[in-house]
Structure 1
Amino acid sequence: MRRTAGHFEALLAVCAAALAAGCDEATHPAPREEQRATNSVAYLKSLCDGRNSIVVTQEITVQGYVAANDRYGEFTKSLVIEDATGGITVAANLESVADVCPFGYVATLRCHGLVLCDYGGKIQIGVAPEGSGAGRIPAEDFARYVSIRMPEADEGLRAEAVTIDRIAERHIDTRVRIDGVHFPQAGAKWCDTDPQTGRSVTTERTLADDEGHTLPVRTAGTCTYAKEPVPAGTGSIYGVIDYFDGKYTLRVTNRDILFPENGL
């Protein structure tokens, strides 16, 4: 009888332990896979520190907002993904990046097998470099690396308010807002025209504040408003900070140019 009672007590102990473990799992559900595996953009970019290019061999996933795309032709064949630690340009060989990656949506980038590239001091990601900069991810492979979802109600892309004289390395490939500025070249077209082809070419216009600080605004020739005039008066402008070989520029995003006197 003692052996039977002892065996029964041991069986009860095993069942109780299993039940407790099951209750603990139910009380503390595992986080979503994308949350558990996410790395920061800053960490991703740090892997390329001091190198021209590097293949990502780790299982690295970053998640952030789509801070720029080609909706108005502003970022042809590319998008910018930004999280709380910084932003990174993704080269993509898509006919319409904006249709696949809408502005402000949440993008998850799976980086294993992609290539980080240092282009003029700015880190980009894509496939093996083709000439200058990262190579574009082929359209047929894009979904393998990038997935998109709508932001939740408590999520949203925000632009940091900065002044021209305070722009720094941490702002590269992030969305900013600059207030109280004007264009000395007001009235000129955003982009110059090639006299031989008649096509708009990528052009820089100068943005200035009342203290005399200036910042080039670089507009791609593919921009839908390339032939429209630069606004007059004083206003605000949103864009992503670009960088090449020691020089900062602003690239307008989502056509957010707020000039009451003569704005878009």
Structure 2
Amino acid sequence: MNRHSIYAFTLSMLLGVGMTSCTKYNEVDPPRFDHPSQEELPLPTHTISQLKALYKRGGVQIDKPIVVSAVIASDDSEGNLYKSCYIEDETGGIELKFALGNLSSIYPQGTRVRLLCQGLQLGDYAGQINVGYPSKEEKYETAFYPELLVHRSLLKEEPTTITPYELTIPTLSKQYAGTLIRLRDVQFLASEQGHTYADPLGKEKNRNVNRTLVDRSGHQLIVRTSSYAKFAGRVLPTGSGSVTAILTYFRDTPQLLILREQDVQLSNPRF
């Protein structure tokens, strides 16, 4: 090997080492969201209602290997839900305060998951129990679970289907809080015709906007929409029909959280 060849070889080796070192030093491996085999999945130990029953005022950090099998009930693709999702099983639903943006791109609605609860925190906000991270702020019982840890606690099991609970406004109850429901034969108030779902132009002042659904008997229900949602500036539909959404509660007041504009099917004549 001549002198020039030796120089070129040595330079290439040094560059290779340098590039490898920079990659290892500067880059952080992205979180993995592998699909574990059935044999690798821990067995469920609790239902959602049993998990909620562990809550105590002030918040409870879970220190036992509790596992919940559930289905993703929500979809954050249109921005009316942010860094949060809802899961449900046959006993009810619960919000997961997980700081992973566009979470539904990894955990689509209808995905069966297993929630590993050890290390998470049970908390309450306005009468609704949720799961998150221990909070450093006294006014909140939970904080958002860090993005890079989500894959450790929320394991994908398999895709499945989710069927909304068919309810009416009078039959709403906290039993269905955090679950996907469908209301039929409803419409927005006549006084709200011509209004938009929320206020995208004034979102810094009006982060959320309430609209009202009504049924044939005059029963009313709040629809709460983020001004950051993709459909926030769309005019409310004028007709009647069905609405599919997540049922939430603010203390004792039921509210609907619309996930996608297409879930509002109000194309029939008004009543």
- The question of a shared fold, defined as TM-score above 0.5 by the shorter chain, is answered with yes
What pairs up with 1:107-146 in 2 under 5 angstroms? 107-129=113-135, 130=137, 131-132=139-140, 134-146=142-154
Residue equivalent to 2:18: none
1:144-190, Cα deviation, whole Å (9 max, x unpaired): 10112432xxx421101100011011011011000000001132100
Equivalent in 77, 80, 84 of residue 86 of structure 2:
80
Any idea what SS the aligned residue of 1:94 has? coil
Residue equivalent to 1:23: none
Equivalent in 160, 163, 182 of residue 158 of structure 1:
163
Equivalent in 67, 70, 81 of residue 73 of structure 2:
67
What pairs up with 1:161-200 in 2 under 5 angstroms? 161-184=166-189, 185-193=192-200, 195=202
Unaligned runs of 5+ in 2: 1-37
Distance 2:153 2:223 in 1: 31
Distance 1:134 1:33 in 2: 29
The higher radius of gyration belongs to: 1
1:24-57, Cα deviation, whole Å (9 max, x unpaired): xxxxxxx956473342000001100x41310011
Task: State the TM-score, normalizing by the size of structure 2.
Answer: 0.78
| 8 Å Cα contact 1:126/1:135 also seen in 2 | yes
Distance 1:261 1:133 in 2: 44
1:89-113, Cα deviation, whole Å (9 max, x unpaired): 0011112211221111112110001
Residue equivalent to 2:6: none
| 8 Å Cα contact 2:59/2:141 also seen in 1 | no
Any idea what SS the aligned residue of 1:37 has? coil
- State yes or no: 1:241 paired with 2:247: yes
Percent identity, please.
28
| 8 Å Cα contact 2:179/2:247 also seen in 1 | yes
2:77 is aligned with what amino acid?
A: R
Any idea what SS the aligned residue of 1:177 has? strand
Question: Offset at 1:114?
Answer: 0.3
| 8 Å Cα contact 2:71/2:111 also seen in 1 | yes
Distance 1:254 1:243 in 2: 19
Q: How many residues align?
A: 227
Residue equivalent to 2:51: 44
Residue equivalent to 1:22: none
2:94 is aligned with what amino acid?
A: I
Distance 1:235 1:133 in 2: 38
1:202-245, Cα deviation, whole Å (9 max, x unpaired): 10100000101000000112211000011111110001111122
Unaligned runs of 5+ in 1: 1-30
Distance 2:141 2:188 in 1: 30
Q: What is the aligned-residue RMSD (CA, Å)?
A: 2.1
Question: Offset at 1:128?
Answer: 1.1
